[in-house]
Structure 1
Amino acid sequence: MITFNVPEMNCGHCTAKIAQSVQQTDPTALLSFDLTSRQVEIDSADDGDVLLSAIKLAGFEATPA
Structure 2
Amino acid sequence: MQEFEIQSMTCGHCASRVAQAVKNLDAQAKIEVDLPTKTVRVDTAEDRASVAAALAEAGYAPK
TM-score by length of 2: 0.94
**SS of 1:31 mapped into structure 2:** strand
**SS of 2:41 mapped into structure 1:** strand
Deviation at 1:57, TM superposition (A): 1.2
Find the counterpart in structure 2 of residue 16 from structure 1.
Answer: 16
| Percent pairwise identity | 33
> How many aligned positions are there?
63
TM-score by length of 1: 0.91
Structure 2 residues not aligned, in runs of 5+: none
Q: Within 5 Å, give how 1:38-57 maps onto structure 2.
A: 38-57=38-57
Structure 1 residues not aligned, in runs of 5+: none
